[in-house]
Structure 1
């Protein structure tokens, strides 16, 4: 075997960790870092008989790396080198290098923060930036800082920006190693519009296999796409010497090994893989990569508080990693299902999981560690404050932390289980109820993709049919109709692992009627109340619906375990179980609140008071309230006035005129009360509330004397000033006392018969003579014949034209030639 590139930098790396305790290794794909670096440190004096722990983001990579290192040493796995992943461990008392997945390290640190038996932790493929990887490094740095100054930490990656990590490690040295990369020719094959992904992938795979030697590694976003592409290739015909090998995380280990190892019959492999094959693995024989350019990631919706799976474009770094798979052992070719112009617009690297996922698991781990504020630890990217607080709120609802964020006894028990806090809470409650076996089956199912085959929109959403299929497989190794046997096998294995972990006896009799209740312990925010036609309102306030009519549609209450919330106004329920009202009231009593609701009801035109029993946004029971607090009634009445508008109050002619006069004073002097609708509505508590005692309806409000209410806003001085400056009436030359119209505060109007104004030379004014009245001069029939605010000018020019018209129409009336010398009259002629 030729020397691997990593061999050339190992002396430098060894030296850095003899003189220091931290380092960063950037080694390109094909350098050999994963399998050579741990072995190089085995005999270092500072290790002092302690272990090396190496983290791998994926189980397959962890097993593969451990097996490869064991072969180098000429040993069986579990000797000097072993691995630990969930439900699978190959270690012994002689093991010095343990390859583990990231959650395993978290459990090790939580149980033994000092890591007495560990001399070095290696974080491999750190560029993937998984949540558990970031957490593991933060906890390890805390342990190193407080308890273990001699603990070595090495961060390794192929595409990492080294400087931020080096700074995080305390200005650690950076060692760079070029990879052993053979040339890879790149071809772009954009997907034609209207063509399905599996059709395009199949066509490109056939094209590439005909043009180049070697095995094919095709990258797809998920298991569903892999299955469809496999069917497409089998229908389209592959070469007689070819064999299709799927590769994704949920596959049984034997099938994963078959994809990675050389084919026993020397057939040409077409490996259909997810991102699981993107890093850490060298699959001998691969010379061709066909990349869909897509990846599946779990994101978290801040809007709904629900996680969801999204299919997205890969980053430029991921695309280059995938391309590099073709050049690990020989020259190769990479086919990309996008155009060359798209390549330059890909985001540089994947978003760190800590910035986009559900942070309830992180919040629980930090609470178990004794940290309430994540900024007390060293994270490469600190978790967003809002997302972290949402995660902690989930923990509060589950009883894992108290109101101050301190972990409870139950929270400690949940953290020890090493599963999502929701499922951990459910398992503890299920065990207490004697339904631990049923809970374990549910927990295992929810960590696996759906076992039911077929279109998601056509599948039954009832989780009970799936639990029955799990028990059937466990008891008889028989797969129910339309179920995935491989998935059932994995679920049963996981279920047994959970039962063993919690010490749950095998003979428990499952009560299938309690499935919805058990789910409610994990998802109290997803307890749903029927709104009819298969639609439900969740306790969180979110509206959801079943994708089609089914038995669950008739349920009064259910618990939704899986909801797709990305399309449409209503989230789609994929998995749920019915929940009885009796179980709801018994087991969620501490979450149920009884509220007195006092609010304005526009349909009743009054205040409605009722006692309401709620579980979050769900209303369980409503009854009339007797003798509600008068202050709350008055507040609700004010809310009704604001909703309906100020005109719902009984504005009589005097009260309306007073409001208008006050508004004119406000315009002249802003220290006077503002009488606009907006201002009155905003200040209802100040001017109206004291007069509402005993009132609760629109009809009651009609008893108000608004003129007196407004008058009370003024003191004696202001009331006198208002009457002087902005009078209600004015006496005209005829002796009549005419009301002033203040409808437009900027232009007060005096409507008066023209004949009553004879002899008056100038326009009447108010406001200390500053505001001229707008005169509406009326005919004997009370119709305006002239509108003016300049009476003197009217007498000089306009009067004579008006006189001609009025004299012809009203010949018996008095129309003098000189109006300024004439006698004013309210009659036909002056007396």
Structure 2
């Protein structure tokens, strides 16, 4: 298409006018409108820009390089002259560069380095609908920079599918300019018969592609969730192709730039192309010749598990907005058709938009950026979606552990150093620590291996989770250019990134790489994922989570390891990448995280106090030994804990002790001011009555030597002890002269069990508690069996005695059965002495 006919040109005058009159604007232009390449060129000669630069933010490296190259070509120049780009591992800019296309992390670094951006007149946020974390952060920083330092800084937010009104409000009421972008119609065809997920997805997509090849003409763009699906789909398509007029081109971020360029340009031999791409091809890129899109309907994203806080790769359905973006790829340069491998009903159930990364990502990088910016409270900045407090708090806790933040949340010198590296704080911390140990060369390689997809993914060797296996592949390629099981497409890009880090950290390129230090270096990055073997390939991590190796392998025998990648599924996450670690290394290099715990506890099985000293790394016990000198207070506390768990039965309760407690309970029943001696009350007040007697008490045997009644006496005042003797006596002397023990087991009805003949002559029922409580008399036969229970002796003698006498006299004829019990002589014998 001739650039002069691009739809964006119809609205450029309105955009230019809006930016001349104000400082902010929102541009909504559908796919194919030409906004990415035409807007920066149109604004380059605006008077308000003067000799300052335009910085355009692109979410993806391929899009940044392609857009810069297209604009430079339109000006008849090479990239690096008026138009340049800066992406990770590559910078093509020069002293005359006026338009810089940068990826998101670079914009944030520029703002952190100098928030005033003195040589920048405008920042363009392209494809803002992708709502990446660096884009949201960059816009928040740019808005504050503009408000505080640079009122003249122009900001333009561009997108195809963004809801414009919230962004316009965020920018302070920015004008919204809309452009209809699709110049050619795109037919949408739903093919639910080819719908599939998981392992069946590549084969289903391949069958759909082969059918579409027969139905349509032109190059084809196929959307798949990841590189693994791309490779398997390519193999399945190749098996079904006939002839040589078709070429299959993969397109994903880990490919070398040369391979990416082959995918986006027409085939040099004129063959029909099938471009198998991830979501990298959704935005900005125009893949020449494409008029057919086949959309699997899936995307792979990294989310943070709300259950564990661990990142995990998730394959899920796209949103309606992403599906429309993909559909638009078919109508960039000519009429096209889009095959959606799902039904219209399924489409109606898709979410309208993708969830912004700020709401589902690991926010440790954002927490570091905010601290470096000088903002402890993110609400001080302007956000479309403010960072969730829980996720941000988790990130801040990690940064404090890494030493990047102090306890007040302010950034430390170490944190500032990490912020300049442009890496995740975990990896930055690992690099800085490794450099101090002379192991930075190894750390650079580990950082690259951890940032990219697994070198061995999809191969049998990938079952081995050892990080050193991947390192060996990288070192083999680096030293000899030889490959074995590794992904050869990925290795060149990895080596470029290694060299960039080596230059950035000013490391001697001849520094030796020592693989045996893998575990140590990874422990700096993932101290919370140091794991202790608990058998059967299962490990307890320092953060308290369980993780396991999917199958038996050398790492299964490791006493300790560091889990660098975990698939958070099920009760225990599956370890994907790890390295062995030695306990001595943990103690030597993580002393600040190891706490000594002294545990003095009651061991119910042994019936004794056990004292141990343990050295713990969070949830992991590194070592444990008996503690020969626990404090007396700790021993006593453990005994009390034992009593709480096992109950008062740990004490030896003799008859006298039980009666003493029952007498106290009787007094409490009649006067609430007396202490409660129920099980619950005594267990609750052990510090008052038991603790004073626990000197040198360490076992059940020691406890059973104690006299409970003597201890319970501690709960009574001197007056109460005196009253207990007089008002709750242990025995009552009956008319026969015998002293009979009082049964207080029922505090409401204390009882006296006595032979009937010993009570002759007593007309009134004995009373205790100062006369408040009558005893319940259990009158016994000569055989010590109850014959009458009464609390009214006078009534018994008057009415009940004669019936008892009639019943018992025949059975016990030798015993004394007088006619008048009130005048008879009481006796404890068979008959009274004459």
| TM-score, normalising length: structure 2 | 0.88
Query: Residues 304 and 195 from structure 1, CA distance in 2 versus in 1: closer, same or farther, beyond 3 angstroms?
Result: closer
CA deviations on 1:89-111 (whole Å, 9 max, x unpaired) are: 22222222211111000111111
In structure 2, distance between residues paired with 1:338 and 1:473: 42
Partner residue in 1 for 2:315: 311
SS of residue in 1 equivalent to 2:349: coil
In structure 1, distance between residues paired with 2:821 and 2:38: 117
Partner residue in 2 for 1:70: 72
Partner residue in 1 for 2:327: 323
Partner residue in 1 for 2:516: 513
In structure 2, distance between residues paired with 1:279 and 1:663: 82
1:561 aligned onto 2:564: yes
1:283 aligned onto 2:287: yes
CA deviations on 1:135-190 (whole Å, 9 max, x unpaired) are: 11121122112211111122222333333333332333333444426343241516
Partner residue in 2 for 1:250: 254
Query: Residues 440 and 827 from structure 1, CA distance in 2 versus in 1: closer, same or farther, beyond 3 angstroms?
Result: same
Deviation at 1:86, TM superposition (A): 0.3
In structure 1, distance between residues paired with 2:259 and 2:810: 112
Partner residue in 1 for 2:39: 37
SS of residue in 1 equivalent to 2:247: strand
Query: Residues 808 and 334 from structure 1, CA distance in 2 versus in 1: closer, same or farther, beyond 3 angstroms?
Result: farther
In structure 1, distance between residues paired with 2:116 and 2:122: 12
Partner residue in 2 for 1:100: 102
Deviation at 1:115, TM superposition (A): 0.5
1:476 aligned onto 2:480: yes
8 Å contact from structure 1 (residues 733, 757) kept in 2: yes
| Most deviating of 781-790 and 301-310 | 781-790
In structure 1, distance between residues paired with 2:794 and 2:191: 90
CA deviations on 1:706-730 (whole Å, 9 max, x unpaired) are: 2232232232455566677776667
In structure 1, distance between residues paired with 2:787 and 2:227: 87
Query: Residues 510 and 705 from structure 1, CA distance in 2 versus in 1: closer, same or farther, beyond 3 angstroms?
Result: same
In structure 1, distance between residues paired with 2:546 and 2:424: 24
Query: Residues 360 and 453 from structure 1, CA distance in 2 versus in 1: closer, same or farther, beyond 3 angstroms?
Result: closer
Which has the larger Rg? 2
Query: Residues 773 and 189 from structure 1, CA distance in 2 versus in 1: closer, same or farther, beyond 3 angstroms?
Result: farther
Partner residue in 2 for 1:616: 618
8 Å contact from structure 2 (residues 186, 328) kept in 1: no
Q: 2:126 aligns with which of 124, 131, 134?
A: 124
Partner residue in 1 for 2:525: 522
1:230 aligned onto 2:241: no
Instruction: Give runs of aligned pairs for residues 447-458 of structure 1, distance below 5 A.
Output: 447-454=451-458
Instruction: Give runs of aligned pairs for residues 540-559 of structure 1, distance below 5 A.
Output: 540-559=543-562
Deviation at 1:649, TM superposition (A): 3.1
Partner residue in 2 for 1:499: 502
In structure 2, distance between residues paired with 1:808 and 1:74: 137
Consecutive unaligned residues of structure 2, counting only runs of 5 or more, are none
Deviation at 1:442, TM superposition (A): 1.3
Instruction: Give runs of aligned pairs for residues 338-487 of structure 1, distance below 5 A.
Output: 338-454=342-458, 459-480=463-484, 482-487=485-490
1:649 aligned onto 2:673: no
Instruction: Give runs of aligned pairs for residues 742-753 of structure 1, distance below 5 A.
Output: none
Deviation at 1:302, TM superposition (A): 5.3
Query: Residues 40 and 534 from structure 1, CA distance in 2 versus in 1: closer, same or farther, beyond 3 angstroms?
Result: same
Query: Residues 762 and 29 from structure 1, CA distance in 2 versus in 1: closer, same or farther, beyond 3 angstroms?
Result: farther
Q: 2:111 aligns with which of 104, 109, 112?
A: 109
8 Å contact from structure 2 (residues 182, 328) kept in 1: no
Partner residue in 2 for 1:28: 30
SS of residue in 2 equivalent to 1:417: coil
In structure 1, distance between residues paired with 2:389 and 2:816: 86
Deviation at 1:509, TM superposition (A): 2.1
Deviation at 1:120, TM superposition (A): 1.0
Deviation at 1:305, TM superposition (A): 4.4
In structure 2, distance between residues paired with 1:783 and 1:287: 108
Query: Residues 597 and 5 from structure 1, CA distance in 2 versus in 1: closer, same or farther, beyond 3 angstroms?
Result: same
In structure 1, distance between residues paired with 2:335 and 2:803: 106
Consecutive unaligned residues of structure 1, counting only runs of 5 or more, are none
CA deviations on 1:405-444 (whole Å, 9 max, x unpaired) are: 2322222222211111121122122223222222211111
Query: Residues 63 and 711 from structure 1, CA distance in 2 versus in 1: closer, same or farther, beyond 3 angstroms?
Result: same
In structure 1, distance between residues paired with 2:737 and 2:175: 103
1:262 aligned onto 2:266: yes
Deviation at 1:770, TM superposition (A): 8.3
| Most deviating of 770-779 and 456-465 | 770-779
Partner residue in 1 for 2:604: 602
Deviation at 1:548, TM superposition (A): 2.7
8 Å contact from structure 1 (residues 458, 548) kept in 2: no
Q: 1:711 aligns with which of 710, 713, 723?
A: 713
Deviation at 1:756, TM superposition (A): 7.7
8 Å contact from structure 2 (residues 210, 240) kept in 1: no
8 Å contact from structure 2 (residues 26, 175) kept in 1: yes
**CA-atom RMSD, angstroms?**
3.9
In structure 2, distance between residues paired with 1:752 and 1:345: 87
| TM-score, normalising length: structure 1 | 0.88
Query: Residues 698 and 115 from structure 1, CA distance in 2 versus in 1: closer, same or farther, beyond 3 angstroms?
Result: same
Instruction: Give runs of aligned pairs for residues 41-56 of structure 1, distance below 5 A.
Output: 41-56=43-58
In structure 2, distance between residues paired with 1:219 and 1:637: 67
SS of residue in 1 equivalent to 2:564: strand
Query: Residues 502 and 768 from structure 1, CA distance in 2 versus in 1: closer, same or farther, beyond 3 angstroms?
Result: same
8 Å contact from structure 1 (residues 184, 326) kept in 2: no
| Most deviating of 142-151 and 282-291 | 282-291
